[in-house]
Structure 1
Amino acid sequence: MSQSKIMPMSGFPEWLPGQRAVEQHFLDVIRSTFELHGFAGIETRAVEPVDRLLGKGGDADKEIYGLSRLAAGEDDGTGPDLGLHFDLTVPFARYVLENSGKLTFPFRRYQIQKVWRGERPQDGRFREFIQADIDIVDSGELPFHYEVELPLVIADAFARLPIGPFRIQVNNRRIPEGLYLGLGLSPEQVVPVLRIVDKIDKVGPQTVATMLTEAGLSPEQAATCLALAEINAPDSSFADRVRALGVEHPVLEEGLLALSAVMDAAAEHAPGLLVADLKVARGLDYYTGTVYETQLVGQESYGSICSGGRYDALADDGRNTYPGVGISIGVSRLMAKLMPGLEATRATPTAVLVAVTSEDERRESMRVAAALRARGVACEVAPVAAKFGKQIKFADRRGIPFVWFPDTAGHSVKDIRSGEQVPADASTWTPPADDLRVGIREV
């Protein structure tokens, strides 16, 4: 049997150890920030019934990976019954319904997992990627103040990471929906038009205008839809500009009041954090209220690296409804943009290489390593009892900063970067704080 050539697989990112250390640092900071704000971690299965995934994700419906056995027979049906989840919100809603009797509401959860979408790989877009989500769900009703809280949590996490300036854009889905209805569009046209407008940053307003007229809108209707999408403001003044368009509808007014309340509350707690941007629509069908997108300032063409919104009917079992609001960091997407400018302080977690004097003395080196690990110092024992110079070179190639030398006359440890060597006791010695754990730095 001939061996097939190993080739990279587009859309499925894999990092080298040093890059993975940078990603892990981001994940650790994000996780700890979520926990500081009282979110409990969960993990859901990777698969969901296909019929639950269908109809939840807009264009993602075309990108769901179906799951089937290679040995499945013809009598197993015409298609797969299970699919890999394309986001973490749909499985979370199912999780809430299954466990509602065991959860305390409002329930605050975070979830950091991989998701899969069969879309065309491109800059920052993958087929397998990590998302980090926070959601708050309640039973029956969900107060609007949670819609203000979530972007504050994201801002806290990003402030602890070297990502540079960012902007959280916010809209309310009822604003464009109400405007479209006020223009005379049918309820069935609203979601397709929302999806088209959501592409404005990708294809530009001219192309969107053409797509809208091809979808059945008049040139005047299309122009008003684009005029709405052009409105943005750092405060609630956007509402007057929307009303100046001359379109009236109860759903539109409801959305304007809701978004104004979010903007006013955010201005009190974090001035300048949110920008009302009425072109933000979010293509996923389950959003019903506030929606968020986050862009890196100066790199707006890259698109959103953190998004989400409110959903009122996603978790509904026919008897009880559990409305929620959530926001998701596209970790893999963010890392793809930032990774070229970041590096780990070392590619291995090992802070100390314990040298081996001879194979007969390896047990002594292992005892030293055990004593260091018991005190939280990451270390490993040299693979072979070579000359000390070779063991030092081995540590240098791995990026290990310290080498420990066991000796019957007294142990010592050497910082191989500076050359300084000092006596040391495994029960008390600790490396400097900057060397104890792998860190990251800008390059």
Structure 2
Amino acid sequence: MARPTPLSGFPELLPADRVVEQQVLDSLRATFELYGFAGIETRAVEPLSVLLRKGEIDKEVYVVRRLHADDTGEDAGGDQLALHFDLTVPFARYVLENAGRLQFPFRRYQIQKVWRGERPQEGRYREFLQADIDVVDRDTLAPHHDVEMARVMVDALSRLPLPGVRLQLNNRKLIEGFYRGLGVDDVAAVMRVVDKLDKVGGDEVARQLREDVGLDDAQVAGCLRLPQLSSGADDAAGFAQRVRALGVQHPLLEEGLAELVAVLAGCADLRSERVDVVADLSVARGLDYYTGTVYETRLLGYEHLGSICSGGRYDALASDGSTTYPGVGISFGVTRTLAPLLARGALTASRSVPTAVVVAVVDEARRADSDAVAAALRARGVPTEVSPSAAKFGKQIRYADRRGIPFVWFPQDDGGHEVKDIRSGEQVPADPATWTPPEQDLRPVVRAAADTPG
């Protein structure tokens, strides 16, 4: 068989990198559950018609069909199936299907793969892992949940071995009200164009607003003034004055500004050496289902990756015609964040295997003795493996060393036992019924490099 060619945009992890990812996921799960979020998993596919209603995403959706299927779409009741591009749309469908069995407000977390047909590059992949949290209620959702989403995710990120983060806040009502105050008709189109500002620059955004959306020069100038405003969380009142000083008036603008100021004030105490919280009116989010607060998060020193953690409020995404289920959520791009850090060596694991100790084999006739030692250690939660061969002890030690395993266990001819720390060379008597490695050696440790990003 010829050597396979890697598929661009579908990252696969080596064992040491997988150790890092697993510890990140364990930490995220623990933090989300600490705040009372329940874990769920949804199916990988949704009807294409559902996915295509949710924003400028149609060119990135992967459709799913059987090799010899006809064009009737029979597997979806006449609707083509497609892989989900985020976890919010599937979650909205999940809420509608299970509303009678859920308790509201419903708090969920979900850690799952998603798929987008994007052009692969650092921080952007075709298959990637996301970790989402959402709160959904019936008919109305209390505004304090907008603050809670930010606080929970900042706590979750602060527990990870990541560089600092900047949480950027905005409000879609504010943006829409501002554009309507300028006389803009197609607000959604303007939002999608302005959301590209940090990717394509002001000149290109201005061109698209004129040529593609049909705005005049005064409207374009106004649309480009708004994203220039930002403020730290400690100056919410001054920020509101600067927005009003732009001279645009609309009731929806005032409603969104009041909501944004409240969220900004509610997150002010999150600021620390590793966390910054700002209002940033360049944040729009390209998906149409957001209706209020929106979030984006930048990794300090890695701003070129774009937002690693984003989301917002959606008041009408889930509705069965008689009841609406408004929600607010935020999503952390696990793969988007970890893959570049792993590739650059900014995150590493102390070893590539979970094993803390290798039990040496004196000779094959006595392998059962080594197996018994391993069983005793495993019974007390010590990750243990038995040497694959009864080679000379030096070779068995090298086997452990190549894998970063810190200890080798030696059964003695007199029935006793000794364990060796192969890093220091110290070898001491040990009892398989009581010996445990130091806490820092029991499991692989994730380390963050001190180097600045290159």
Q: TM-score range by the shorter chain?
A: over 0.9
2:56 is paired with a residue whose SS is: helix
Shift of 1:298: 3.5
Partner of 1:429: 435
Partner of 1:140: 139
CA 1:122/1:80 → structure 2, altered by over 3 Å: closer, same or farther? farther
CA distance in 1, matches of 2:20, 2:304: 24
Please say if 1:314 is aligned against 2:317: yes
Shift of 1:375: 0.8
Shift of 1:4: 4.9
How many residues get paired?
438
1:414 pairs, out of 403, 415, 420, with 420
2:267 is paired with a residue whose SS is: helix
Name whichever of 73-82 and 123-132 sits farther off.
73-82
Partner of 1:93: 92
CA 1:146/1:273 → structure 2, altered by over 3 Å: closer, same or farther? farther
Partner of 2:366: 361
CA distance in 2, matches of 1:75, 1:137: 35
CA 1:372/1:10 → structure 2, altered by over 3 Å: closer, same or farther? same
CA 1:74/1:183 → structure 2, altered by over 3 Å: closer, same or farther? closer
Output aligned runs, 1:245-394, within 5 Å: 245-267=246-268, 273-339=276-342, 340=344, 341-394=346-399
Name whichever of 356-365 and 197-206 sits farther off.
356-365
Deviation string, structure 1 residues 350-381 (Cα, Å, up to 9, x no partner): 01111111222111211111111111110111
Please say if 1:205 is aligned against 2:211: no
CA 1:75/1:220 → structure 2, altered by over 3 Å: closer, same or farther? closer
CA distance in 1, matches of 2:173, 2:388: 64
CA contact (8 A) 1:59 1:283 kept: yes
Partner of 2:49: 51
Partner of 1:110: 109
Deviation string, structure 1 residues 246-289 (Cα, Å, up to 9, x no partner): 11111111111111111122225658742111110000111000
Shift of 1:80: 6.8
Counterpart amino acid of residue 441 in structure 1:
R
Shift of 1:59: 2.6
Deviation string, structure 1 residues 183-224 (Cα, Å, up to 9, x no partner): 1111xx111110000000111112111111112001110110
TM-score w.r.t. the length of structure 2 is 0.93
CA contact (8 A) 2:352 2:404 kept: yes
CA contact (8 A) 2:135 2:145 kept: yes
2:351 is paired with a residue whose SS is: coil
Shift of 1:76: 5.4
Counterpart amino acid of residue 202 in structure 1:
K
Shift of 1:108: 0.9
Shift of 1:75: 5.8
Please say if 1:441 is aligned against 2:447: yes
2:109 is paired with a residue whose SS is: strand
Counterpart amino acid of residue 265 in structure 1:
G
1:59 is paired with a residue whose SS is: coil
TM-score w.r.t. the length of structure 1 is 0.95
Name whichever of 18-27 and 82-91 sits farther off.
18-27
Please say if 1:226 is aligned against 2:227: no
Partner of 2:452: none
CA 1:420/1:285 → structure 2, altered by over 3 Å: closer, same or farther? same
Partner of 1:72: 69
Gaps of at least 5 residues in structure 1 are: none
CA distance in 2, matches of 1:270, 1:426: 48
CA distance in 1, matches of 2:270, 2:163: 21
CA 1:442/1:297 → structure 2, altered by over 3 Å: closer, same or farther? closer
Name whichever of 200-209 and 127-136 sits farther off.
200-209
CA distance in 2, matches of 1:93, 1:308: 14
CA contact (8 A) 1:66 1:83 kept: yes
1:225 is paired with a residue whose SS is: helix
CA distance in 2, matches of 1:37, 1:103: 18
Counterpart amino acid of residue 366 in structure 2:
E
CA distance in 2, matches of 1:41, 1:192: 35
Name whichever of 365-374 and 75-84 sits farther off.
75-84
